[in-house]
Amino acid sequence: MFSRLFAPRVTAHAHCDLPCGVYDPAQARIEAESVKGTQEKYQANEDAHFRARAIIIKEQRAEAVKHHLSVLWSDYFKAPHFEKYPELHKLFNDALKAASAAKASTDPATGQTLLDYIAQIDKIFWETKQA
C-alpha cells in the first residue's frame, strides 16, 4: 500500500540529470585559460616564491579542468551523442590527459594543447544543443 502511495504519478524523461543549461564547456575553458596564463607568468618571472605559488595555482586550475570535463563527459553527453560523434570518447580522454600534462608542466604549449582539445569539445557540444 505504501509503495503505491509514494510511487511517482508521472514519469519524467530528461536528456540529463538537470536542465541542460547547467552544462557548458566554458567552465573548463576558463580554467584552462588560467592554466596557460599561469604557465606564461611562471616563465616570465624568476622569483622562486612567485614560481612556487604559480605551480600550486596551475595545478589547482588543471584539476578543476579535469573535473569540469569529466562532469560534461559523464552527465551531459549521452549514447546518441556518442553514436553521432564516435570520436567523442577519445576526444575527452585526450583532453583529460592534456589536462594532466598541463598540470605537470610549466610549458605554456601544454596549456594551449589543452585549450585546443576543449575547443573541439565545445564545437560538438554546441552542435548537440542545436539538435
| pTM for this model (two decimals) | 0.84
Give the model confidence (pLDDT) of 65-101 as tens digits. Answer: 999 999 999 999 999 999 999 999 999 999 999 999 9
Give the model confidence (pLDDT) of 9-36 as tens digits. Answer: 655 444 445 555 579 999 999 999 999 9
Please report the domains of the chain, with CATH numbers, ordered by start residue: 23-130 (1.20.120.400)
Alpha helices, H only, 7-87: 26-44, 48-71, 79-84
Tell me if 77 sits within 8 A of 122, measured CB to CB. no
Question: How many angstroms separate the CA atoms of 83 and 131, rounded?
Answer: 14
